[in-house]
Chains A and B, each alone.
Chain A
Amino acid sequence: MTISRDDVAHLGRLARLELSEAELDHYAGQLDVILQSVARISEVTAGDIPPMSHPVPMVNVFREDVVRPSLSRDEVLAGAPAAEDDRFRVPRILDEE
């Protein structure tokens, strides 16, 4: 398994990373080396072993459905890069046409 520049560019698009040309070369080489070293885990025959997503076996931890104080709108918007009319201001989401 080798990772090409195009693969890295595709992964960058999936992860919303605008990678530079130099980064594409750099990461393609490094990811190859990293993947080769982690690929050793495929040596282990583990088809019948249940996968473990989490160290503590617990499901559906609920709390009472009661109203509690929360952050004020001003506190939340204070950290925003841009705000307008008590809302987050974001770049355009729809295409022009």
Chain B
Amino acid sequence: MSDLIRQPAAVLAAAIASREVTAVEVTQAHLDRITTVDEQVHAFLHVTTESALAQARSVDLRIAAGEQLGPLAGVPLALKDVLAMKGEPTTAGSRILEGWRPPYDSTVVERLRAADIVILGKTNMDEFAMGSSTEHSAYGPTHNPWDLDRIPGGSGGGSAAALAAFEAPLAIGTDTGGSIRQPASVTGTVGVKPTYGGVSRYGQIALASSLDQPGPCARTVLDTALLHAAIGGHDPMDSTSIDAPVPGVVEAARRADVQGMRIGVVKELGGDGYQAGVAQRYAEALEVLQGLGAEIVEVSCPHMEYALGAYYLILPSEASSNLARFDGMRYGLRAGDDGQRSVEQVMSITREAGFGSEVKRRIILGTYALSSGYYDAYYAQAQRIRTLITRDFDAAFAKVDVLVSPTAPTTAFRLGEKLDDPIAMYLNDVATIPVNLAGICAMSLPVGLAPEDGLPVGFQIMAPAMADERLYLAGAALEAALVDEWGHHLIEEAPAL
């Protein structure tokens, strides 16, 4: 088998299972690729070479012994650095956790190991997943493989860039307001934010607990579905985990059918503020879906325009509370402990030294929104808006099977372009945030390159809670039609590096 790094995960897994190629060869090919290109891309913060090769050897031994392994056994994966992996550095992109090694595995990592998926390393991200460009990482930005001067999206820019640079065929992200989908959109890859509670958050370093959701990323819809099935399902260690079987995502991805499906175009997510080439590719994709037998209808979700405001009150409020655990007492950085200062002084100095500017900004904003006198006007009002947005979705899903929108208003912007303008940065997530507020599921998949800049455009599909299979049914059908039209996956057009 040639060009191992360009193969989809499903193809690699079949080749490993039939002993056409070994898991060690596949893993080594990806480790070599990381060595060659990651100096330019900076997708990884830490490469777990030894444990990856050990995992791959174990897969090869068991296959040789005739054992039947899972559908992704031996396939390499890039893990976002926000998920605890026992004994390996886990920083969440922050200085405050530099050098910390978790004493336990997150449930996602446990399930990846159980599925014999080979973990290549930990990927770069905006600090504590706060950002849309990966520029807020304390360890320097990740570069978009399509254009190294541009951002790979965020917060999961490292995971998306690893896929687009062919450093890994699978990746794990986490999505609080779009951190899986927006990076997928700007790197020409696929990412799914599962239904809230569909994938365990145990061992994910928390940003905003009522919004956070780990999920699968890959270069094809089927690979994404296979990974979704491997990590999803009930976990007693996460009290918000849904006690129900994983939706039939793999079957749906294989069926790839939108015949008779009712697809709702969300009127409020699109139009003004969306780049011309994004709007154009989005409109063309809708025509493709219609050509495949879907019925396209316009629906209105009138409260969507308030989603961004509600989100930027709810998220900082929850984050300011969650990040209180970083106090320099039990793990991570401690600064200013001269034997004289009090515990409170040491905490304040530690947090000042360990947190970056975006994290401080959101902690202050959240502390403000939760402080007495402002609580009802800000936090409680934001929670009421959240109810209204959820009701908008409920009303829309009474009429249609899935909803669609562009994933992000623009293609990848230049590094540095929005770094000093928090509002401009926050607007990237205007179309992805409502999904997190309502706890429903959504996918981003590539639908072409914007004519004006030659960069990937993402298409977002949204489905009701625990109807994740609909994302794959529609996404795989659209992907198949586009691949048919282009003669290849869009990612094949990415620069060679």
Residues in A lying within 8 Å of B, measured CB to CB: 3, 7-8, 11-20, 23, 27, 30-31, 33-35, 37-44, 46, 49-56, 58, 61, 63, 71, 75-76, 78-82, 88, 90-93, 95
Given contacts A78-B103, A93-B342, contact A16 B388 (CB under 8 A): no
B119 CB within 8 Å of chain A: no
Instruction: Determine the distance from Cα of A63 to Cα of B239 in the docked complex, in whole angstroms.
Output: 9
Cβ–Cβ contact B387 & A91, under 8 A? no
Chain B residues numbered 247-272 whose CB sits less than 8 Å from any CB in chain A: none
**B310 x A41 contact (CB < 8 A):** yes
Complex interface: stretch among B138-146, B150-158, B363-371, B396-404: B363-371
Q: List 7 A-B contacts (CB under 8 A).
A: A18-B351, A34-B365, A41-B385, A44-B303, A63-B236, A81-B337, A82-B337
A41, A54, A58, A63: residue with the most chain B Cβ atoms closer than 10 Å = A41
A55-B438 in contact (CB<8A): yes
Q: Categorize the interface residue count of chain B.
A: 35 or more
Residues of B within 8 A of A79 (CB): 100-103, 330-332
Given the complex, which residues of B lie within 8 Å of A8, measured CB to CB?
A: 364
CB neighbours of B384 from chain A (8 A): 44, 46, 49-52
The tally of CB-CB contacts under 8 A between chains A and B is: 175
Among B355-411, those with CB < 8 Å from A are: 355, 360-361, 363-365, 367-368, 371, 377-378, 380-388, 390
Contact A15 B332 (CB under 8 A): no
B240 to A56, Cβ gap below 8 A?
yes
- A61 vs B202: C-alpha distance in the bound complex, in angstroms? 15
A15 touches B364 (CB 8 A): yes
What residues on A are CB-neighbors of B100 within 8 Å? 79
Cβ–Cβ contact A92 & B309, under 8 A: no
For the complex of A and B, 4 pairs with smallest distance between CB atoms: A55-B439, A51-B383, A81-B334, A79-B331
Cβ contacts under 8 Å, B102 to chain A: 79
A34 to B363, CA, bound (A): 13
Cβ of A46 and Cβ of B210 under 8 Å apart? no
Known A-B contacts A31-B364, A44-B306, A51-B380; A38 and B332 likewise in contact (beta carbons under 8 Å): no
With A18-B349, A92-B342 known to touch, is A41 a contact of B381 (CB < 8 Å)? yes
List residues of chain A with CB within 8 A of the CB of B352: 17-20
Docked complex Cα distance between A14 and B364 (Å): 9
A34 to B422, CA, bound (A): 8
Closest Cβ of chain A to B61, distance in Å, is 28
A71 to B101, CA, bound (A): 14
Residues of B contacting A44 in the complex (Cβ-Cβ under 8 angstroms): 303, 306, 381, 384-385, 388
| Assembled-state Cα–Cα distance A63/B241 (Å) | 13
- Residues of chain B within 8 A of A91, CB atoms compared: 337, 339, 341-343, 345-346
In the bound complex, what is the Cα–Cα distance between A90 and B494 (angstroms)?
52
Chain B residues with CB under 8 A of A7:
368
Inter-chain CA distance A51–B340, complex, in Å, is 46
Nearest CB of chain B from residue A23's CB, rounded to whole Å: 7
Interface residues of B in 217-241 (CB under 8 A from A): 236, 239-240
Given contacts A37-B423, A79-B332, contact A17 B360 (CB under 8 A): yes
Chain B residues with Cβ below 8 Å from A63 are 236
Q: State which of B308, B348, B385 has its C-beta within 8 Å of the C-beta of A18.
A: B348
Q: How far is the CA of A4 from the CA of B383 in the complex (A)?
A: 26
User: Of the candidates A52, A71, A78, A93, which one forms a contact with B383 in the assembled complex, judged by CB atoms under 8 Å apart?
Assistant: A52
Other 7 A-B pairs with CB < 8 A, given A16-B351, A52-B390, A55-B465: A15-B351, A15-B364, A16-B347, A27-B360, A38-B312, A54-B210, A81-B328
Residues of A within 8 A of B331 (CB): 79-81
Residues of A within 8 A of B345 (CB): 18, 91
Contact among A18, A41, A55 for B390, CB-based, below 8 A = A55
Closest B residue by C-beta to A77 = B330
Cβ of B54 within 8 Å of any chain A Cβ, yes or no, is no
CB–CB B360/A41 < 8 A: no
Nearest-neighbour CB distance to chain B for A29, whole angstroms, equals 11
- Give Cα distance in the complex from A53 to B437, angstroms: 10
A52 to B310, CA, bound (A): 11
Contact of B387 among A50, A71, A81, A92 (CB under 8 A): A50
Query: Chain B residues near A78 (CB, 8 Å)?
Result: 101, 103
A23 proximity list for chain B (CB < 8 A): 360
Assess whether B313 is interfacial by the CB under 8 Å rule: yes
| A49 and B388 contact, Cβ closer than 8 Å, known pairs A34-B365, A91-B342 | yes
Pick from A17, A71, A78, A79 the residue with the most CB of B within 10 Å: A17
Judged by a CB distance under 8 angstroms, whether B242 is at the interface is yes
Q: How far is the CA of A31 from the CA of B440 in the complex (A)?
A: 30
Contacts of A38 in B (CB 8 A): 308-310, 312-313, 378, 382
A17 to B341, CA, bound (A): 15
Distance (whole angstroms) from the CB of B348 to the closest CB of chain A: 4
Residue in B103, B334, B344 whose beta carbon sits within 8 Å of that of A76 in the complex: B103
B320 on interface, CB distance cutoff 8 Å:
yes
Q: For B439, give its contact among A13, A16, A27, A56 (CB under 8 Å).
A: A56
**1/0 per position for B294-326, CB-CB distance to A under 8 A?**
000000000100101110110000001000100
Chain A CB within 8 A of B166 CB: no
B239 touches A61 (CB 8 A): yes
Q: Are A51 and B367 in contact (CB under 8 A)?
A: no
| A54→B196 CA distance, assembly (Å) | 10
Complex: how many Å from CA A42 to CA B308? 13
